[in-house]
Amino acid sequence: MKKIDIKLCGVGGQGILSIATVLGEAATQAGLQLKQAEVHGMSQRGGDVQSDLRLSAEPIWSDLIPLGGADLIISMEPMEALRYLPYLAPDGVVVTASRPLVNIPDYPEEAALLAELDALPHVVRLDIDALARESGQPKSANMVLLGMAAPHVGLLSAEQLRSAIAAVFARKGEAVVQANLQAFGLGLSHSLQSVSK
C-alpha cells in the first residue's frame, strides 16, 4: 500500500485532534507525504468534529478525501462513524467506539446504531471508554481507539505509532507518555484478537 486516506471523526473534547497529531507525527518521522484538511465542525466539547488525513509515499495534490475514497474511518463515536459512511471506500474499514455520546435530543437508539455498524463488511468496534477506565487510563480512550486502528493503517507500523505517541506527549511528562502507550497497547491487542477470530 503506497497511500492511505483516513477520515477522523467524533465529538469535540474526545481527542480526535490528538489522534491526528500522532498519525501526522508518525508519518513525518517515516518520511511520508502528508495532507490534512482543517478540522470541520465545533471543536468545543459536544460539537461534531471531523478531519481528513491523507498519507502517501508519493505527492498528494488535495487535502480532501472524495466520497467513496476513505480507506479507513476512525471514529470516537458510533453515530459519527455512520454519518461519514458515504466517504468510505467499498473495501474500507470502520474502527469505532461502540458507546454513544448522546449529545442531541433525538439521538438514535443505541441498538439500531450498533446493528447498522455490525452490518458493514469491515468494522472493528469496542467500548473504548470502559476499557480505558478499567485499565486505569480514563483520559486515554482516544489512544485505545488508535491502537484498534493501527493494524489497518498500512503505511505505519505499531512501533512507528508508539514512537510518535512518545514524541507528541513528551512535553506532558513520562507518566502521560506511559499512560498513552499503555492505552494504545490495549487497543492494539483487542484489535488483533478480533482480526484473528
Provide the mean pLDDT of the chain.
87
168, 22 contact by CB (below 8 A):
yes
pLDDT in tens, 169-195: 999 999 999 999 999 999 999 877 655
Domain 3-196 = CATH 3.40.920.10: yes
* Confidence band for 197, pLDDT divided at 50, 70 and 90: very low
Listing DSSP states for 64-85 in one string gives SPPTT-EEEEEESSHHHHHHTG
150, 190 contact by CB (below 8 A):
no
* Confidence band for 114, pLDDT divided at 50, 70 and 90: confident
**Which percentage of the chain shows pLDDT scores above 90?**
61
How far is CA 14 from its chain centroid? Answer: 11
* 7-13 average pLDDT score: 83
Q: Which helix (H) or strand (E) holds 178?
A: helix 174-196
12, 77 contact by CB (below 8 A):
no
* Confidence band for 37, pLDDT divided at 50, 70 and 90: confident
Instruction: Round to whole Å and give the CA distance between 82 and 106.
Output: 16
Which residue intervals of 101-154 are DSSP H helices? 110-118, 128-134, 141-153
Give the Å distances, CA to CA, from 171 to 174, 176, 180, 181.
8, 9, 13, 15
CA-closest candidate to residue 95, choices 115, 111, 80: 80
Amino acid code (one letter) for 102 = V
* 49-65 average pLDDT score: 90
How do the domains of the chain map onto residue ranges?
3-196
* Confidence band for 15, pLDDT divided at 50, 70 and 90: confident
User: Mean pLDDT lowest for which of 60-64, 125-129, 135-139?
Assistant: 135-139
* 62-87 average pLDDT score: 94
Question: Would you say residue 44 has pLDDT above 80?
Answer: no
Question: Would you say residue 196 has pLDDT above 50?
Answer: no
Burial of 63 (0-12, 13-18, 19+ CB in 10 A): middle
Q: Quick one: DSSP state of residue 172?
A: G
Which residue intervals of 44-140 are DSSP H helices? 78-83, 110-118, 128-134
